[in-house]
Amino acid sequence: MHLVYPAVLAALLFSVGVYGVLARRNVVLVLMSVELMLNAVNLNLVAFDAWLRDSLHAGQALTLFTITVAAAEIGLGLAIVLLVFRTSGTADIDRLTALGDPNEDTAEPETAGASENKAAAV
């Protein structure tokens, strides 16, 4: 088996994944691009394992480990994306800059006396 064909295919897949991560604004599409990059790495691992004719099949074992980690990553990633979408109403990466409460006014800093006055007023 020639090593060039799967290596070129993996390089193309990885390049498309990098483009997707850098150019997309939707979080779900970014996660899909990361998965595409992981699959390109898996293709390289299996191709080099077949090319080296390793008796331990270390490339295939690493591929199974990578698939397991990718499944956990996509599960947690989608859970975080759903939580962010529920709280902010968007899945656009450019609009998700603030990690704080969107209803909280952060324009004027509070001093210790001002917070005491607010607590006394309530």
Predicted local confidence at residue 121, as pLDDT = 59
* Cα–Cα distance measured from residue 110 to residue 18, given in angstroms and rounded to the nearest whole number: 43
What is the number of domains present in the chain?
Answer: 1
What single string gives the DSSP state of each residue in 53-69?
T-SS-HHHHHHHHHHHH
Residue-wise pLDDT for 109-122, tens only, equals 556 555 555 555 55
pLDDT at 114: 58
Write down how long the chain is.
122
Using alpha carbons only, give the angle 58, 48, 64 rounded to the nearest 5 degrees: 40
Residue 59 lies in a domain: yes
Residue 10 lies in a domain: yes
Instruction: Please state, in angstroms and rounded to a whole number, the distance separating the CA atoms of residues 55 and 38.
Output: 24
Q: Is residue 43 part of a domain?
A: yes
Establish if 21 belongs to a structural domain: yes
Please tell me the predicted confidence (pLDDT) of residue 119: 55
Structural domain contains residue 101: no
In a domain, 104, yes or no: no
Res. 16: pLDDT tops 80: yes
Q: Which CATH number do you get for residue 59? A: 1.10.287.3510
Residue 36 lies in a domain: yes
- Count other Cβ atoms within 10 Å, centred on residue 108: 7
The band of 95, judged by pLDDT with boundaries at 50, 70 and 90, is: confident
Q: Say whether pLDDT at 22 is over 90.
A: yes
Tens-place pLDDT, residues 38-88? 999 999 999 999 999 988 999 999 999 999 999 999 999 999 999 888 988
pTM for the structure as a whole: 0.74
The confidence score (pLDDT) of residue 17 equals 97
Segments forming the whole domain that contains residue 67: 4-96
Please give the mean pLDDT across all residues of the chain.
85
